[in-house]
Amino acid sequence: MNRLKDKVAIVTGSTSGIGIGIARLFAAEGAKVVVCGRREEKGQAVVDRIKAEGGEASFHFMDITSTESIEKLFADTAEKYGKIDVLVNNAANVALKDGRVDELTVEMWDAIFQSDMRGTFFTTKTVLPYLEKNENGGSIINIGSMASCGGDLSSTAYACAKAGVDMLTKSTALQYGKKNIRCNCVRPGLIVTPENEAHVPQVLKDIFLSNIMVNRYGCPEDIGHMCVYFASDESAYVSGQIINVDGGMNSHVPTVAQFREMNSRTW
């Protein structure tokens, strides 16, 4: 349980959902974890839970839409721990029903891009000088979305922003790889968390389960385990990769679920 021993990791948006799962697993593997977000009470609860489990963590306020807030997060973390090794860009505005192109306003578009694309860009830009100081560089892990895998009936701005995160991942990996800085992206599938479970209707779960290749939908720890790998030295030769952690949902032709219902393999 020491895969991340002595590493200092910042997990943005770790006061709920997937972020909590990542932060807890990082701490269990020996990392010093900075839990951050806008909700101090919830963030401190995550820190307290990690400490109760034997890990090391602290809370720092961060607003993903504020450049000043982001800069302070990294400066204070480096001052507290002496370095930064890992950044997980998890904070985002999940707007899965933002609408079609004709329904979106410019204000809606800008709000989603500010948190999901601009925020990820600026945290990445801000952490780079800290990672460059390390002899072994560091690891940046972006949390993308399967929404960027293809067109959909809605979620237009969200999908476009997350597609931008995919390309930011590749550009960062290329431009800073020779400085031992790696950058990879994890695309979650349907992840049911304690916060969203009551709001995920059974019909949606059924639709996903009919397309997922395994027998369940995901949980925060599924994403956390992949992030542990990307944060650890085990993935030292892995960079610029976009990995779907979706139970295999995006690995097959789109007609599979319907043919299963027909008890048929093909037409």
What would you report as the CA-atom Rg of the chain, rounded to the nearest whole angstrom? 19
CA-CA distance, 2 to 237, in Å (whole number)? 19
> Which residue among 81, 130, 158, 217 is the active-site one?
158
Question: How far is C-alpha 89 from the chain's CA centre?
Answer: 5
Question: Is residue 88 within 8 Å of 227, Cβ to Cβ?
Answer: yes
Residues in a beta bridge with 10: 34, 87
Count of residues making up the chain: 267
CA torsion angle for 71, 76, 81, 87 (degrees, to 10)?
-30
Task: Give ∠ CA 161-183-114 in degrees, rounded to 5.
Answer: 25
CA torsion angle for 71, 89, 111, 175 (degrees, to 10)?
80
CA-CA distance, 57 to 129, in Å (whole number)? 23
130 labelled catalytic: no
Specify the amino acid at residue 62.
M
Residues taking part in catalysis: 158
